[in-house]
Chain A
Amino acid sequence: MDRFSWTSGLLELGETLVVQQRGVRLGDGEEKVKFDSGVLLLSTHRLIWRDQKNHECCIAVPLSQIVFIEEQAAGIGKSAKIVVHLHPASSNKEPGPFQSSKYSYIKLSFKEHGQIEFYRRLSEEITQRRWESMPTGQAMQVNKDTQAGRIRAVGIVGIERKLEEKRKETDKNISEAFEDLSKLMEKAKEMVELSKSIANKIKEKQGDITEDETIRFKSYLLSMGIANPVTRETYGSGTQYHMQLAKQLAGILQAPLEERGGIMSLTEVYCLVNRARGLELLSPEDLVNACKMLESLKLPIRLRIFDSGVMVIELQSHNEEEMVASALETVSEKGSLTADEFAKLVGMSVLLAKERLLLAEKMGHLCRDDSVEGLRFYPNLFLTQS
């Protein structure tokens, strides 16, 4: 920790911010220090740490001081860490929080995650060494001390050897995984080719294929994640799975819809259903494809798509056009309303409130006043007073 210097935390001219992460604790080798909770910033030139509670407390170390870095996986009750091995501090270093340290490395503890991204970026910066080609306003701390250089060489050789062994081991695991993955993908590719060939046959036969065969084919495509080569839609409607799902949804959504005035956006439904499931979640496409079948299966809920592209699920008994009448009353009472104001009054999400007001406008009941202060709706007096 004696390699750090106090700093203002402001970036120099020519220095760029690469990535930052909150919730990082610094450690001096194996020991704890008082830098417990801070934002860690990586720039093209330095590693900067700023205390989250006291922004004045800010320290930095130049990237040129870094010898190499290692990852340390998280454990029970322990956050993931990055270990940063450093050259000894140069004699002309700016003053910092520690005069000396018995360790030649520090530990960065990622209490709020973010270590993977940070490690990747830090590795990149150390490799690219952009600080060498981008001189900053501040004097660069160049390690010209040859005495220190000789001492460095001795201790580091052993560490580097250990690191090399670890790299080889990891490489072996990764390359085995990649090999297996490549073989798997070859087989998957065969499946894709086969499905294309079948699709061509279907096109040639032009309607001679049975319903049963179509359903079978679609379910095979679904399992493999292959888009339907005939219709180009990702196995739209027609699979057993989506039919069952549609029926399930009708059951699950009845009560929530009633609680919310009979209408919910598809994103709300997605969150609600997946939060309830916990495991074996639905993909967004699963949800949309199931909802597209609601009407044809004559279920008590239906999918509706507004002009804006917003998709909602409504109770069959829900009549948005009737709701427009009551919306008009509300707007008239208040003189005029924005979507935000209307949403708060009625207890709806802003998204759906806006859609209702837009529909009312489309039906001629409301007029808009579109200014930089926002979109405001008024009762359409042209209609009522002419």
Chain B
Amino acid sequence: MHRRGVGAGAIARRKLAEAKYKERGTVLAEDQLAQMSKQLDMFKTNLEEFASKHKQEIRKNPEFRVQFQDMCATIGVDPLASGKGFWSEMLGVGDFYYELGVQIIEVCLALKHRNGGLITLEELHQQVLKGRGKFAQDVSQDDLLRAIKKLKVLGNGFGIIPVGGTYLIQSVPAELNMDHTVVLQLAEKKGFVTVSEIKSSLKWETERAKQVLEHLLKEGMAWLDEQAPEEPQYWLPALFTELYSQEITPEEAKEAIP
């Protein structure tokens, strides 16, 4: 009785088949690389054509930029990953966002001593627009968020914290966990928060509330008002709307430029 597959002959045949398969595997990969190279050239041409017709649209129309970015994300492409990518080179999207990144860093550095490294997206938007000057192209808040997402990789602690319908932008490597974030969200309504409010809204114990608030104080992101009528109030300078109109002073500007 012959058992199937057993025996020197069967083994030899199998080895031969595997070797042939591997060989074909090598050839297939090379073929595919060559194919990719060709398709890449074709794609580059298509992109050039698209750019010649619609480059201006991308530059001028923030809604179109959003659509463009969303479509890229859906198919698994990051047009902003490298300045050397086709998207950046031909559509010019790269320079737009990378320069915005520089401007965002400079504003955050200049204002850090005021707000501890936390700033609302609105204020950041205002200050960036001011810095860009009259003749520069307008930027939307969506543009800022995309630029900030790219800056995260530089390790400086850039983060985006959703609060009440808008965002707080963090630009320092301070650790802000869920507890801190939730308290920031609570404080967003009035610009300040108290221990009692935290206890009643979030159902925390006093100790936990105090720890979070002390951390924010230490980081310079919160200021303490002990003169408040009922109990001490913890204010977030990032949320003071009066500060929106305050110019960046020359001293602050010096701090911002390396």
Task: Point out residues on A near B: beta carbons under 8 Å.
Answer: 19-22, 39, 52, 79-80, 111-117, 120, 173-174, 177-178, 180-182, 184-185, 187-192, 194-195, 197-198, 201-202, 204-205, 208-209, 213, 216-217, 220, 222-227, 234-235, 241, 256, 260, 264-272, 274-275, 279-288, 305, 308-311, 340, 350-351, 370-372, 374-375
Query: Separation in Å of the B190 CB from the closest CB of chain A?
Result: 13
Nearest-neighbour CB distance to chain A for B65, whole angstroms, equals 11
- Indicate which residue in A173, A185, A309 contacts B173 across the interface (CB closer than 8 Å): A309
Q: Chain B contact residues: over half helix, strand or loop, or mixed?
A: helix
Residue among B78, B80, B129, B153 with the most chain A CB within 10 A? B153
Considering only CB atoms, which chain B residue lies closest to A195 in the complex?
A: B36
Collect the chain B residues with CB atoms within 8 Å of residue A184's CB.
46-47, 50
Q: How far is the CB of B76 from chain A (nearest CB, A)?
A: 5
- A283 vs B57: C-alpha distance in the bound complex, in angstroms? 22
Contact A112–B155 (Cβ < 8 Å): no
**Contact yes or no, B150 A205, CB < 8 A:** no
Q: Which B residues have a C-beta under 8 Å from some C-beta of A?
A: 22, 25-26, 28-30, 32-33, 35-37, 39-40, 42-44, 46-47, 50, 53-54, 57, 61-62, 64, 67-68, 71-72, 74-89, 94-95, 98-99, 101-102, 105-106, 112-113, 122, 125-126, 129-130, 132, 134, 136, 138, 140-141, 150-157, 172-173, 214, 217-218, 220, 224, 244-245, 257-258
The answer to whether A213 and B29 touch across the interface, beta carbons within 8 angstroms, is: yes
Known contacts A180-B54, A226-B76: does B82 contact A265 (CB below 8 Å)?
no
Contact A181/B50 with A114-B138, A264-B258, A284-B153 known, Cβ cut-off 8 Å: yes
Q: Is the CB of A372 within 8 A of B217?
A: yes
Bound complex: CA A335 to CA B211 (Å) = 28
A-B CB pair tally, cutoff 8 Å: 237
Complex formed: what's the CA distance from A280 to B87 in Å? 12
Is A270 within 8 A of B83, CB to CB? no
List 6 interface pairs A-B (beta carbons < 8 Å), by A numbering: A120-B140, A184-B47, A216-B33, A225-B87, A271-B105, A372-B214
Bound CA–CA A278/B74 (angstroms):
31
Determine the chain A residues whose CB is within 8 A of the CB of B26 once the complex forms: 205, 208
A318 to B217, CA, bound (A): 34
- A223-B40, A266-B154, A272-B258 given as contacts; is B81 within 8 A of A234 (CB)? yes
With A177-B57, A180-B54, A351-B156 as contacts: A198 and B72 at CB distance below 8 Å: no
State whether B150 touches A284 (Cβ < 8 A).
Answer: yes
| Contacting pair B68 A22 (CB below 8 A) | no
CB <8 Å contact, B154 and A283: no
CB-CB under 8 A from A178, the residues of chain B are: 64, 67
With A271-B106, A350-B112 known, 19 other A-B pairs at CB within 8 A are: A19-B122, A22-B126, A79-B134, A177-B64, A184-B46, A185-B71, A192-B76, A198-B32, A205-B22, A208-B26, A217-B33, A225-B80, A227-B76, A266-B154, A267-B156, A283-B150, A285-B81, A285-B153, A310-B173
